[in-house]
Amino acid sequence: MYTMLNNQESSKYDLYLPGKLVAALHYKLEAEESEIMLIYCEAIETEEAAHHCTELMRLAAEDVKSRRLKLTITCPIALKFMEMGKICRSTAAVSSRMVHDDQVSSAAGQNQLNVPQ
């Protein structure tokens, strides 16, 4: 069973299986704007890395939703899972709007998921 901890001191979500860290999702929190930016995801445990990252993205999206934060994603792995519909499957109330680089050049490589207030 997975456990996700919000390591605020290091600005990352850490995903654990009993006794070991298996993945981490680094973020930048802009408290004044109530916004969190997912920067990159890394699989520490390479066995089943895709499954670990999928679970980490799902849990992080649930946390963002519960905290009513606007979510900006620059992490290519997170974007991949978003496009495959894996992140928001269990958070059906999340309304997503993707702003792709080729659509808006001012997005500077960022894509956004707006979480309803």
- List, in order of start, the domains of the chain with CATH numbers: 3-84 (3.40.630.30)
Torsion angle, alpha carbons of 116, 66, 8, 21, to 10? -120
How confident is the model over 22-32, as a mean pLDDT?
A: 94
What is the pLDDT, as a whole number, of residue 15?
Answer: 97
pLDDT tens sequence across 8-22: 999 999 999 998 999
Task: Give the integer Cα–Cα distance in Å for 54 and 93.
Answer: 18
What is the pLDDT, as a whole number, of residue 86?
Answer: 53
Spatial neighbors of 22 by CB under 8 A, at least 6 apart, are: 2, 15, 16, 43, 44, 45, 52
Q: Who wins on pLDDT, 57 or 112?
A: 57
What is the pLDDT, as a whole number, of residue 3?
Answer: 96
pLDDT tens sequence across 32-54: 889 999 999 999 988 898 889 88
pLDDT tens sequence across 63-83: 999 999 998 888 887 787 777
Question: Is residue 109 within 8 Å of 74, Cβ to Cβ?
Answer: yes
How confident is the model over 99-116, as a mean pLDDT?
A: 37
Q: Is 76 helix (H, G, I), strand (E, B) or coil?
A: helix
Phi (first) and psi of residue 101, to 5 degrees: -55, -40
What is the pLDDT, as a whole number, of residue 54?
Answer: 86
Q: How many of the other CB atoms lie within 10 Å of CB of 58?
A: 19
- What value, to the nearest 5°, has the Cα angle with vertex 26 and ends 20 and 28? 145
- Burial (0-12, 13-18, 19+ Cβ within 10 Å), 85: exposed
Q: Who wins on pLDDT, 76 or 23?
A: 23
